[in-house]
Amino acid sequence: MVRIAIVLGSTRPGRAGKAVADWVYEQAKKRSDAQFELVDVADFGLPLLDEPLPPSLGRYRNEHTKAWAQVIASFDGYIIVAGEYNHSVPGALKNAIDYLYREWNNKAVGFVSYGSAGGIRAVEHLRQIAAEVQMADVRAQVSLPLATEFENYTTFTPSPLAVQGLGPVFDQVIAWAGALKMLHP
């Protein structure tokens, strides 16, 4: 059975992403076709990239990098939950991705985003980043506009359309993760 991480990519205090990631995880637990785990970037305390060698070499010196690498390597695919910050990716998420290379390679990734425009610009940037670290991004995505999916722009209240949109993200990430599994140890 494939293992899928739901990666919460925001670390800011009071982040809307926590409620979104918890919702994705609760929906995932209803499925029996994959194992899911919630992985919060904030739990790893990653400073700005501080490894002296390029991640593509895989020779990590810092314990925080080794811990992050071990967790990320243990999954076959990812669903990244990302807010849109200034028309792009949250800095902490970009930093967390940049720490590693081989751990991401040949694995499926899908996106659930939120923000004033549903986080779609962050996802467009994440697709480019994913390509560089050799992740296979799926077409399906869930975009959650603050005006329609967050009561008073703060309290996450997913609409039936959001719930319906999550199914294809799971389906595609699970299928692609299974197909790509033979390419990574």
The answer as to CATH 3.55.50.30 being correct for domain 3-183 is no
In 3D space, the residue among 38, 18, 19 whose CA is nearest the CA of residue 28 turns out to be: 38
Sign of CA dihedral 46, 65, 135, 164: negative
Per-residue pLDDT reduced to its tens digit, 137-169: 999 999 999 999 999 988 999 999 999 999 999
Rounded to the nearest 10 degrees, what angle do helices 91-98 and 120-132 cross at?
10
Q: Kindly indicate the confidence band of residue 185, based on its pLDDT and cuts at 50, 70 and 90.
A: low
pTM (2 d.p.):
0.97
Question: Cβ contacts of residue 14 below 8 Å, gap of 6+?
Answer: none
Alpha helices (H) along 29-159:
63-73, 91-98, 120-132, 146-149
Residue 179 has what pLDDT? 97
- Domain map of the chain by residue range? 3-183
Residue 184 has what pLDDT? 80
Per-residue pLDDT reduced to its tens digit, 53-96: 999 999 999 999 999 999 999 999 999 999 999 999 999 999 99
Residue in the block written with tokens 């549903």: 118
